[in-house]
Amino acid sequence: MYQVTLIFLALLPLTSTSRPYDVSSNEISSFNDPDFSDLRNTQTLCRTFPGMNRKQMQLCRRMPDVTAAAIQGIDMAVHECQHQMKNRRWNCSSLEMRHGNPFAHALMSRGLKETAFAHSLASAGVLYQVTRSCSAGKLPYCGCDTRFVGSGEGFEWGGCSHDIKFGEGFAIDFLDSSEKSGRDAQARMNLHNKRAGRLAVSHYAEKRCKCHGMSGSCQLKTCWMQTPHFREVGNRLMEKFSLALEIRARNTNSGSVELVTRARSQFSTPRKKRRFPPQEELVFLEKSPDFCDADTRLDSPGTRERYCNRTSTGIDGCDSLCCGRGYNIRLERRTEWCNCTFHWCCYVRCQQCHSSQWVNQCK
């Protein structure tokens, strides 16, 4: 085993693939690719981040700090997507920020369930991260929600309630701008799913309280409103993904397009055929492919060389994940940090631990 010392420098944010999801900083510290090093500086952000449309560029120049928080929210959403989809054939890997702007990928312009999930999670991530950055005092344009003041039933409003309205407004301006007219079915679908993502955050804001008094007597209780943890948001949207509604587009008399749920069977009544999808549900327009093989039309890498569980009969099992191609078993040597200890001040000393493990990889 080898010992290494990790020294923390205040001006050089460290990155980690296992970083916490409740990041409150507005610094874009999660980019590991050298090509994105300029994104750490909000002054160069508007010139260096690829794929922004005209409205996003205008927002970026006017509010670079908020835009930086929004992009960090998108990056956080991609990592949450990878967590939620890690056992599925499509696992969000092609949407990583090191590959460029996630919204520029081919799958994001399709009508699939996976597209719906990715759009909803990205919209939720922007709302979440901008709101958290506001409450942490990192942004000059926003702060705490001042609506929660005075006394409630057995408590006093205090602390810093999260200004979800500001985060929601910026998420709409930043992400919905390219599809605001909603004149085609794809745009309507994307707008619907982005709204569902924001609702997964705003509808589940929760009251948190802290007791004050001798020996925890709670003579005075101070409360504030805050967003749910992002893992909870991801779990909720994953449930919506599993129950996503297939829809179809219908032209209206005014020339616009509206979405209605597709009849589940030929015996459905006309009334049910015209049902509008609920705002909080995810919707899709086309059936998903099997994602077994690499497909450049979707930027999908397929499942070859993916790790699988040969004892599982679920979606992570080798039979399902490898699409019937079979799998190889091999001994893999792994190296990871272990036995880390913090030393004052300010560095962490870790050891490198080596282990060997039998793994299964799809052919």
Whether 317 contacts 304, CB under 8 Å: no
Residue 11 resides in a domain: no
Q: Where are the alpha helices (DSSP H) in the chain?
A: 45-48, 54-62, 64-84, 113-135, 164-175, 185-202, 230-242, 270-273, 318-321
Residue 1 resides in a domain: no
Domain that includes residue 174, residue range: 20-302
Boundary residue ending a domain (287, 302, 317) = 302
Same domain, yes or no: 177 and 238:
yes
Query: Mean per-residue pLDDT for 211-226?
Result: 82
Give me 293's structure tokens. 């093989």
Give me 237's structure tokens. 């949207």
User: String of b and e for 202-240 (b: at least 16 CB within 10 Å)?
Assistant: beebeeeeeeeeeeeeeeeeebbbbbbebeebbebbbeb
| Banded model confidence at residue 291, pLDDT cuts 50, 70, 90 | very high
Same domain, yes or no: 314 and 296:
no
Which is more confident, 206 or 181? 206
C-alpha to C-alpha distance for 195 and 279, rounded to whole angstroms: 7
The edge-to-edge listing of strands for the beta sheet with 245-251 is 257-261, 245-251, 283-284
Residue 148 resides in a domain: yes
Boundary residue ending a domain (252, 275, 302) = 302
Same domain, yes or no: 186 and 53:
yes
298-321 per-position pLDDT tens digit? 889 999 999 999 999 999 999 999
pLDDT of residue 284: 95
Question: Long-range contacts of range 42-50, CB-CB < 8 Å, 24 or more positions apart?
Answer: 42/67, 42/68, 45/71, 49/101, 50/100, 50/101, 50/104
Same domain, yes or no: 55 and 160:
yes
Residue 353 resides in a domain: yes
Strands 151-152 and 257-261: unpaired
Q: Tell me, what CATH number does 333's domain have?
A: 3.30.2460.20
Whether 106 contacts 114, CB under 8 Å: no
Which is more confident, 325 or 182? 325
Query: Mean per-residue pLDDT for 163-181?
Result: 89
| pLDDT of 153 above 70 | yes
The reply to whether the predicted model has a pTM over 0.85 is no
For 48-80, the DSSP string reads HSTT--HHHHHHHHH-HHHHHHHHHHHHHHHHH
Same domain, yes or no: 222 and 245:
yes
Same domain, yes or no: 172 and 320:
no
Same domain, yes or no: 46 and 177:
yes
81-102 per-position pLDDT tens digit? 999 999 999 999 989 888 788 9
Residue 15 resides in a domain: no
Same domain, yes or no: 289 and 210:
yes
Minimal CA–CA distance to 297: which of 133, 128, 87, 108? 108
Give me 342's structure tokens. 């913090």
Same domain, yes or no: 263 and 313:
no
Same domain, yes or no: 282 and 323:
no
236-284 per-position pLDDT tens digit? 999 999 999 999 877 766 556 677 887 655 445 554 455 788 999 999 9
Looking at the 3D structure of the chain, how many domains does it have? 2
pLDDT of residue 264: 55
230 backbone φψ class: left, alpha, beta (φ>0; ψ -120 to 50): alpha
| pLDDT of 2 above 70 | no
